[in-house]
Amino acid sequence: MAVGFTQDQEQFREVVGRFFAAKSPVTEVRKLMQEDRGYSRDLWAQMAQELGVLGIHYPEEYGGYGFGAVELGIVAQEMGRYLYCGPYFASVIMAGYALINEGSQAQKERWLPGMAAGSILAALVLDDLDDVAQVGQKISWNAQRGLNGTADIVLDAHNADLLIVGAGTESGVGLFLLPADDSRVVITRKTSLDETRKLSQVCFVDAPATPLGDGHCDLVRLWDQLSTALAHEMIGGAEHLFNRTLEYLKMRVQFGRAIGSFQALKHRCADLLMSLELARAATHAAARYVAWGDGDAYAANMAKAMAGDAYMAIAEQAIQLRGGIGFTWEDDTHLWFKRAKSSEVFLGSPNWHREALIQKIEADQELQHA
Amino acid sequence: MAVGFTQDQEQFREVVGRFFAAKSPVTEVRKLMQEDRGYSRDLWAQMAQELGVLGIHYPEEYGGYGFGAVELGIVAQEMGRYLYCGPYFASVIMAGYALINEGSQAQKERWLPGMAAGSILAALVLDDLDDVAQVGQKISWNAQRGLNGTADIVLDAHNADLLIVGAGTESGVGLFLLPADDSRVVITRKTSLDETRKLSQVCFVDAPATPLGDGHCDLVRLWDQLSTALAHEMIGGAEHLFNRTLEYLKMRVQFGRAIGSFQALKHRCADLLMSLELARAATHAAARYVAWGDGDAYAANMAKAMAGDAYMAIAEQAIQLRGGIGFTWEDDTHLWFKRAKSSEVFLGSPNWHREALIQKIEADQELQHA
Amino acid sequence: MPKESVMADAEVRETVRSWLTEHWDINRPLDEWRECLVDGGWAAPAWPVEFFGRGYSVEQAALVAQTFEEFGAVGPAQGGPRRLASHTLLTHGNDAQKQAFLRQILTGEHGWCQLFSEPGSGSDLAGLSTKAQRVGDRWIINGQKVWNTSAHHADYGLLLARTDWDVPKHQGLSYFLIDMHQPGVEVRPLRQMNGHASFNEVFFSDAWVLPEHLLGAEGEGWSIAATTLSIERQGFSSERSGGRAKNLTGAIYDQYRSELAVELAPYTWYPQRTGRVDLAYPRAKASGKIDDPALRQALAKLLSMKKSADLTEALAAVKQRAGNNRVSPEGSVGKLAASAIARQAAHVHTLISGAGAMLGGDDSAHEGVVAEILLSVPAISIAGGTDEIQKNIVAERVLGLPKEPRFDRGPFRDVPRNAVDN
Amino acid sequence: MPKESVMADAEVRETVRSWLTEHWDINRPLDEWRECLVDGGWAAPAWPVEFFGRGYSVEQAALVAQTFEEFGAVGPAQGGPRRLASHTLLTHGNDAQKQAFLRQILTGEHGWCQLFSEPGSGSDLAGLSTKAQRVGDRWIINGQKVWNTSAHHADYGLLLARTDWDVPKHQGLSYFLIDMHQPGVEVRPLRQMNGHASFNEVFFSDAWVLPEHLLGAEGEGWSIAATTLSIERQGFSSERSGGRAKNLTGAIYDQYRSELAVELAPYTWYPQRTGRVDLAYPRAKASGKIDDPALRQALAKLLSMKKSADLTEALAAVKQRAGNNRVSPEGSVGKLAASAIARQAAHVHTLISGAGAMLGGDDSAHEGVVAEILLSVPAISIAGGTDEIQKNIVAERVLGLPKEPRFDRGPFRDVPRNAVDN
């Protein structure tokens, strides 16, 4: 069981962390969340050129850096910490993983270099974000009529040049590719609970689309990859909120003493630290599983479930321990709270992932006894 | 929504409480739990003659006092408080309810007066104590071969003169009656986790038995009645442990102060009080439902689930807050802890009762929309 | 005329009804009607005769209100802060103050607000540090208040400020009636995380109060505030309903509805703050999520908690009516239970929505209500005293556990406090 | 002979192997073999040459142990309390004390026990009140200890007692080596709620200690106790396994097994104390309860907590090896996680057993193990420092939150304490 990070990875985390600390201060977050586009094109270009993270986990032959889930996880964790606003999760992670996993060589050559360079934005359209087994029930594809159906919640579809769409076919669920500006695609913006993450409804009416690769795909693998990246983002956010809360507890005085000296609050913080530490260990283990198959097949489920619970618990307490001020718009806590709530339910609830974990153990046991 | 008790009922509670405080001190509990019989015949006679609680909820025409679930609940609550050891739950409550509910007039005349007078002990044999819907799967009855099968856990069967047995028949599950000393009944004593409650396995081999009433029965109603009585017993135990723990926290000094002045412990006690108050309210509501049909059909399920969770939470903390001494045999806490654990799983776990609650709501809704 | 306190119920009803028959007119302007109400003693029948009332008992006053309701007549100006002001004035005001303010409260001419909490003193209200200094013939006020509902349209404020820094914190406070329309008072709306702006911040920069608007004596502020807070704790649920009049047709009703809309605006999200347990089962059923066993467990827990909390509250009410006035466990856990229920409800609504909980505003389920639940529930364990304070109270007053050691018993000047205050 | 600290691994192994080849004999009596071991310096190779050791590094000593294990040779006398005694003596004993006691620890001639905790001072160990008074040429001991594993067959005890009541509590303690075989010492077994009796209570009534058996100086007891406690925290898991030797055939192994059986008797239920996570999935599967969705949720939580706690522990170990010795969050939450895991495991085992959990003793599932789990798990959040103390430590040392106010800083005589002490 490998644990921990290499020195290079630690250094990379520092560089990425410093970058977003500088480029994604909360004033910027508050500005972008009000806007429809929701991200800065300048910063996107810097992320491609200066920081080099847009294609961090794409193979080098397609303009990427050839790293894997561990390094991508570092980026996601730091983005989550600073609540970075932009289509990174939608394009680089979601659509990127889909292309890497399933794309033909030609498709990868056509799209990945542009995505890594920052000139192309893609979005992955899944018609179910609760349960991977339900994907492809509401959108169908066949060779004659192309894509038909609706996905209710799609990240950053309104910013995308390219859509990759999960759709049911006669022979299972496949991924399909089409330009986002096709007239038979209707993208309708939706209001988000977490306004730092832009959502749309995407509707297809006889929209022609090309199969990604051979039209078959391993959706469970993709779901695990995305869940793992999301868990990292959550851990970063949870760390930030937890640290901010500790600072507040040390500074805020009531009844003549810092409220952090009240034992009930101290013990609560110890409990939160435990959840956070365990969730972080699970999340980093999931990255190693996704990267190298090292560890348990349920690693991503464990990570997403634990990170989701820990982030929400910390977010709730971050408000509660601030009292009234924590409930105001002016205070920043709610921005992370909303991200926590939205991430909790995105790509499977903690309950869903726990059920998936047991199913994987059962499958594994059956394999062993077969 | 009626709430609260009448003055008569409050007075009755006081009388019963004083009785068991005097007659069931913990020294007596420790003595009886070591013995195989597990109860005092003298005390049983006093309970019949002086206290008059053996037939508290039996109709007066059968030697009972004609009271209902509320008064029976008061008795059960006080017994649970003092950890009364004896076949009250098995005979008076379990077998008693079965007879009252389903017995023919002749059967009630034959058995209830003796049970109320303390001269006859009965036991209710159910082959499943987890799920009322599973009763009658392991024991069967037919007119030719009588009873066959095994119940793994039966309360106080070894003390019983009379057995009432739930068994599957061609036309559903029924209750059947036979003397406990029939040679085709094998009663094997089992070790209990909670040694204040004596258990046996009961096995039938072609044992002749008479149908109770017409051989059909409303097991769900019976299960609700028993669960409600058990919930009362749990509330009494929980109250006792909680009060004892508060006393300890006020008395025990560490670091130069009473440990009850530490905020983390104070807040924990406030949380426990909340669980206890809510569970008690639910339990007393269940008694009113069982007695008069007043309230929700799921009242007993709500009570059993909440009382089970509250009692276990209080029992765990009663040990934890005492530290090492709470883990010793010498300290009395474990006696109640074991009763709490054993009651948690007896007649359906909290999870089972919650599921049952939802099923009843669904049934009710369908009825309303039908 | 029979002595009113011994009037039979039927007689009260009849008196009201005949008076209304004579005076009620749906085409009368609302303010004029309210003047008439006050003149007739019907705006506050339980108040003393010398102060616009009729000296009725509380039960009789309730009968009057009920008769108004049946008749479809609009009552006196209501609104939480107005009631806080009138009851505090009735208890602690001198005759001149009562004469000066009570009438305009009932007619609705004056709006009021409460100015207690401060950014630096939330749970520790008595640790507030807004300063009132006597300079010449005036009190000069400097400091900041927060959570002031209705302050943006209030004419007067109930102000708690520190007049003595050399005594323990509870002893140095005084209670003022402050004119909100003056240059030294600035009111800014305060937006919450759920998007609503139900409260204000109020800034005082050399604002002033006349000496005759000190309520009670200097240094008595804390005990007077206790009266205000106890009225606040009784809640405003009945007043917030608006009654039958809000659905009737006629000119005066239109005016009444406009008034109501303004006064109730801060509270539209309050039902969501409780978690909307009422929506849980119907939403689970409608969405098909009722078949998820884990949801069923969570839902059963929620419904059990809610039902047993209702039972507990009912029991507490019975005991209170029976005159059992000591702090009862049933009553004291109600607030904690409400928090636990709201949190569990938010959890259940999240489970029902699944990824749908990513949507906000009107795109959220149930016409936007679900997002509002998720973003409002955090308030319930904070507003009106945090759960932490409530647990201290339960542990000490109900369970008799020893008190926390105190570090703020000395002169307030020497008590450590937040930098923002100094 | 090359300097041992620079000996290559292979050379260490070879030296051990050739010595064992020469001396090891399975028909030799165990006590004779242990004398031989000590004489050869192999009983404690990491100890100094002048005290029965060879001055090896910790890594080299581990190699020696490994080679013994491979060879199938029995090592020196082990057992937790003996190791506490020897390490504390090595660090704080004078030469005479080391000469007097260390050899008989290694040979197994003397058993030891720890005499720290008292009924009146559990979490607050430094608040202990067993009294040591200098009377003539002896220290006279009066008081009571508790949780003393092995005290019933110990020859000597590590005793912490109060010698000065007029200084703050940590400063008034002294550390004694007490002869357990004397009339003033009474040892009584202490039974736990799970039926086992792993501990003892020890009562001192005018028991005595020779002045030369005061360890360190008078008043230094607390800092010496810290050494003992830090060794205790390292755990005894490897020693408790008994190694390969416990399964081999031969006279000396029989003797070793008897010794082991006595020493390990108190610990047979320790695995159950952790909740036996290893049994959860197999039992759920075998019972068919795995199909219960609520159980699946609880089980998944359990397995996730366990797995991530293992990962966290592994990470803490990596960091510690990397020389990062400051208190790390990873290390500090381990004990809390173990408690949470054990509680969750008990919950899961309860769900699996259902009404079967009513059975106890051997009638309980898995040959009685399940009942033992349910009745042993409460110990894990208490033993070795309660969760409450651990949370204080995490909050203060890891998270840097302010300390609790203290009420026990003055002379111990004036500090409030439990009636039982006085």
The verdict on residue C264 lying in a domain is: no
Cα of C291 to nearest chain D Cα, Å: 11
**Domain identity same for A270 and A348:** yes
Q: What is the pLDDT of residue D325?
A: 57
Q: What's residue D421's pLDDT?
A: 44
- pLDDT at C1 (0 to 100): 40
- Smallest Cα distance from C252 to chain A, Å: 37
Do D171 and D93 reside in the same domain of the chain? Answer: yes
CATH code, B278: 1.20.140.10
In a domain, D246, yes or no: no
Residues D394-409 as b/e (b if ≥16 CB within 10 A, e otherwise) read bbbebbebbebeeebe
Taking the Cβ of residue B243 and every Cβ of chain C, the question of whether any pair is shorter than 8 Å is answered with no
- A206 and A80 co-located in one domain: no
**Final residue belonging to a domain, choices B117, B143, B158:** B117
In a domain, B2, yes or no: no
C375 vs A253: CB contact, 8 Å cut-off?
A: no
- Cβ-based contacts of C146 with chain A (< 8 Å): 324
Last residue of a domain, one of D45, D77, D109: D77
Contact between chains at B254 and D123 (C-beta distance less than 8 A)? yes
d(CA C80, CA C114): 10
Residues B223 and B364 reside in one and the same domain: yes
Q: Do A230 and A304 contact (CB within 8 A), yes or no?
A: yes
How many Cβ atoms sit within 10 Å of the Cβ of residue D9? 11
- Rounded distance between C-alpha atoms, residue B95 and residue B92, angstroms: 6
List chain D residues with CB under 8 Å of C351: none
Closest chain A CA to residue B261 = A263
- How many C-beta neighbours within 10 Å does residue C32 have? 12
Minimal-distance CA residue of chain B relative to A266: B264
- Do A166 and A253 lie in one domain? The reply is no
CA distance to partner chain C, nearest, from residue A106 (Å)? 34
Q: Would you write out chain B's pLDDT as a tens digit for each of its 370 residues?
A: 567 899 999 999 999 999 999 999 999 999 999 999 999 999 999 999 999 999 999 999 999 999 999 999 999 999 999 999 999 999 999 999 999 999 999 999 999 999 999 999 999 999 999 999 999 999 999 999 999 999 999 999 999 999 999 999 999 999 999 999 999 999 999 999 999 999 999 999 999 999 999 988 999 999 999 999 999 999 999 999 999 999 999 999 999 999 999 999 999 999 999 999 999 999 999 999 999 999 999 999 999 999 999 999 999 999 999 999 999 999 999 999 999 999 999 999 999 999 999 999 999 988 887 7
Statement to judge: residues C64 and C88 lie in one domain = no
Searching chain A, which residue's CA lies closest to the CA of residue D333? A274
Q: How many CB atoms lie within 10 A of CB B89?
A: 25
Query: Chain B residue closest to A261 (CA)?
Result: B263
Nearest-CA distance C112 → chain A (Å): 22
Q: Is residue A1 part of a domain?
A: no
**Maximum separation of any 2 CA atoms in chain A, in Å:** 75
A186 and chain C in contact, CB less than 8 A: no
Number of domains in chain B: 3
Q: Are residues B226 and B167 in the same domain?
A: no
Last residue of a domain, one of C77, C103, C129: C77
Residue C145 lies in a domain: yes
The answer on A156 and A232 residing in a single domain is no
Q: What is the ipTM score, two decimals?
A: 0.96
In this prediction, residues D188-217 reach a mean pLDDT of: 96
- What integer pLDDT is reported at residue C392 of this predicted model? 96
Q: Which two tokens stand for residue D155?
A: 């020859």
Are A238 and A360 in the same domain? yes
Q: Give the whole-number percent of chain C exceeding pLDDT 70.
A: 95
**Which pLDDT tens digit goes with each residue over D389-422?**
999 999 999 999 999 888 888 999 999 888 754 3
- Which of B250, B274, B279 has the CB atom closest to C401's CB atom? B250
**Is B24 part of any domain?**
yes
| pLDDT exceeds cutoff 90 at C420 | no
* Residues from chain D contacting residue A5 (CB–CB below 8 Å): none
* C67 half-sphere exposure, CB direction, 13 A CA radius: 23
The per-residue pLDDT for range C2-46, each reduced to its tens digit, is 455 567 889 999 999 999 999 999 999 999 999 999 999 999 999
- For residue D233, is pLDDT > 90? no
Return d(Cα C53, Cα C64) in angstroms, integer.
Answer: 12
The residue among D143, D142, D154 whose CA lies nearest residue D113 is D154
Per-residue pLDDT of chain A (370 residues; tens, 9 = 90+): 567 899 999 999 999 999 999 999 999 999 999 999 999 999 999 999 999 999 999 999 999 999 999 999 999 999 999 999 999 999 999 999 999 999 999 999 999 999 999 999 999 999 999 999 999 999 999 999 999 999 999 999 999 999 999 999 999 999 999 999 999 999 999 999 999 999 999 999 999 999 999 988 999 999 999 999 999 999 999 999 999 999 999 999 999 999 999 999 999 999 999 999 999 999 999 999 999 999 999 999 999 999 999 999 999 999 999 999 999 999 999 999 999 999 999 999 999 999 999 999 999 988 887 7
- What 3-state class would DSSP assign to B162? strand
* Chain segment C106-145, per-residue pLDDT in tens: 999 999 999 999 999 989 999 999 999 999 999 999 999 9
Q: Do A318 and A194 share a domain, yes or no?
A: no
Are both C48 and C68 inside the same structural domain?
yes
User: How far is C406 from chain D, CA to nearest CA, in Å?
Assistant: 10
Residue contact B153–D343, C-beta within 8 A: no
Which domain range does residue C369 map to? 274-383
Return the structure tokens found at D262.
Answer: 């006595």
Chains in contact with A, where contact means 3 or more Cβ–Cβ distances below 8 Å, are: B, C, D
The predicted structure's pLDDT at residue C310? 96
What number is the average pLDDT over the span C184-189?
97
CB contact under 8 A, D330 and A358: no
* Same domain, residue pair C102 and C215: yes
For residue D171, is it within any domain? yes
Give D323's contacts in chain A (Cβ within 8 Å).
none
A275 and A342 together in one domain: yes
Are C69 and C20 contacting, i.e. CB atoms less than 8 angstroms apart?
A: no
DSSP3 helix / strand / coil % (chain C, rounded to 5): 55, 15, 30
Residue D251 lies in a domain: no
- Looking at the complex, does the CB of residue B274 fall below 8 Å from at least one CB of chain C? yes
pLDDT attached to residue D326 = 61
* Close Cβ partners of B41 (under 8 Å, ≥ 6 residues apart): none
The residue-averaged pLDDT of C266-279 equals: 95
Comparing CB atoms, the residue among B191, B328, B337 nearest residue D360 is B191
Res D420: pLDDT: 55
B232 at D interface, C-beta within 8 A = no
CB contact under 8 A, C401 and B4: no
What's the whole-number mean pLDDT along residues C303-330? Answer: 84
Phi, then psi, of B309 in degrees rounded to 5: -65, -40
Question: CA gyration radius for chain C?
Answer: 24
CA dihedral C10, C11, C15, C16 (to 10 degrees): -30
Taking the C-alpha atoms of residue B314 and residue C394, their distance in angstroms, rounded to an integer, is 17
Chain C CB contacts of B249 under 8 Å are: 401
H-assigned helices in chain B: 7-23, 26-34, 41-46, 69-82, 96-102, 105-117, 219-251, 263-292, 299-322, 333-345, 350-369
With contacts defined as CB-CB under 8 Å, which chain D residues touch C297?
Answer: 294
pLDDT digits (tens, 9 = 90+) for C385-409: 899 999 999 999 999 999 988 888 8
Q: How confident is the model at residue D3 (pLDDT cuts 50, 70, 90)?
A: low
Interface probe for B, chosen from C289, C324, C333 (most Cβ of B below 10 Å), is C333
Out of A253, A325, A347, whose CB is closest to C416?
A253
Q: Would you tell me how many other CB atoms lie within 10 Å of the CB of residue A183? A: 7
Same domain? B233 vs B360? yes
Size of interface A-C (CB pairs under 8 A): 142
CA distance between the termini of chain B: 26
Q: Does A304 touch chain C (CB under 8 A)?
A: no
Distance between CA atoms of C366 and C361, rounded to whole angstroms? 11
Give the per-residue pLDDT at C421: 44
Question: pLDDT tens, B293-332?
Answer: 999 999 999 999 999 999 999 999 999 999 999 999 999 9
pLDDT the model gives residue D77: 87
Contact B262 A266 (CB under 8 A): no
Residue where one domain finishes, among candidates A89, A117, A145: A117
Pair D11, D122 in one domain: no
- Distance (Å) from the alpha carbon of B268 to chain A's nearest alpha carbon: 9
DSSP D171: G
Residue B26 near residue B335 (C-beta atoms within 8 A): yes
Placement of tokens 């094998």 in the chain: B186
Q: Which among B128, B197, B330 has CB closest to D191?
A: B330
CATH code, domain carrying B156: 2.40.110.10
Domain harbouring D190, CATH code: 2.40.110.10
3-state secondary structure of B298: coil
Secondary structure of residue B58 in the 3-state scheme: coil
Search chain B and give the residue with CA nearest A259. Answer: B263
- Structure tokens given for C182: 């003056």
3 state SS of A137: coil
Q: Do D297 and D422 share a domain, yes or no?
A: no
The three-state secondary structure class of A132 is helix
Q: Tens digits of per-residue pLDDT, D125-170?
A: 999 999 999 999 999 999 999 999 999 999 999 999 999 999 999 9
Residues C85 and C71 grouped into a single domain = no
Q: Verify that C129 and C32 share a domain, yes or no.
A: no
Structural domain count of chain C? 3
B42-50: long-range contacts, CB 8 A cutoff, minimum separation 24: B43/B86, B44/B86, B44/B87, B44/B118, B45/B118, B47/B86, B47/B88, B47/B118, B48/B116, B48/B117, B48/B118, B49/B118, B50/B19
Chain D interface residues facing chain A, Cβ-Cβ under 8 Å?
A: 281, 285, 290, 293, 296-297, 299-301, 303-305, 307-312, 314-315, 318-319, 329-330, 333, 336-337, 340, 388, 390-392, 394-396, 398-405
Question: Could you tell me if D207 and D93 lie in one domain?
Answer: yes
**What's the CA gap between A232 and B190, in Å, rounded?**
52
Q: Which residues contact D390 (CB under 8 A, 6 or more apart)?
A: A270, D332, D335, D336
In 3-state terms, chain A is what percent helix, strand and coil (to 5)?
60, 15, 25
Instruction: Output the six-digit token pair for A83.
Output: 């609540």
**Distances from the Cα of A11 to the Cαs of A49, A123, A281, C255, C398, in angstroms?**
18, 30, 19, 67, 55
Residues B98 and B186 in one domain: no
CA pair distance C13, D40, nearest whole angstrom: 109
Say if residue C85 is in the same domain as residue C204. yes
Phi, psi of A190 (to 5 degrees): -120, 150
The answer to whether D247 and D256 are in contact (CB under 8 A) is no
Shared domain check, B126 and B100: no
Residue D1 has pLDDT above 50, yes or no: no
Quick check: D191 and B351 CB within 8 A?
Answer: no
Is residue C8 situated within a structural domain?
yes
Q: Is residue B1 part of a domain?
A: no
pLDDT at D247: 85
Please indicate whether, in this complex, the C-beta atoms of B357 and C318 are within 8 angstroms of each other: no
User: What is the domain range of residue B165?
Assistant: 122-211
Task: Please check whether residue D299 lies inside any domain of the structure.
Answer: yes
In this complex, is the C-beta atom of A305 within 8 Å of any C-beta atom belonging to chain D?
yes
The model's pTM: 0.95
Q: Are residues C282 and C331 in the same domain?
A: yes
Which pLDDT value is given to residue C78?
A: 72
Say how far residue B148 (Cα) sits from the centre of its chain.
26
C90 & C72 share domain: no
Mutation site, D193, D352, D392, interface B, largest B CB count within 10 A: D193
Neighbours of chain D (3+ CB pairs under 8 A): A, B, C
Which of B163, B182, B211 is a domain's end point?
B211
Tokens of C16: 């009201």
On whether the CB atoms of residues A232 and A93 are closer than 8 A, the answer is no
Indicate whether A2 belongs to any domain. Answer: no
**Whether pLDDT at D6 is above 90:** no
Using a CB-CB distance cutoff of 8 angstroms, which residues of chain B are in contact with residue A263?
262-264
pLDDT for the residue numbered D38? 95
In this predicted structure, which of A177-191, C5-19, C197-211, D342-356 has the lowest mean pLDDT?
A: C5-19
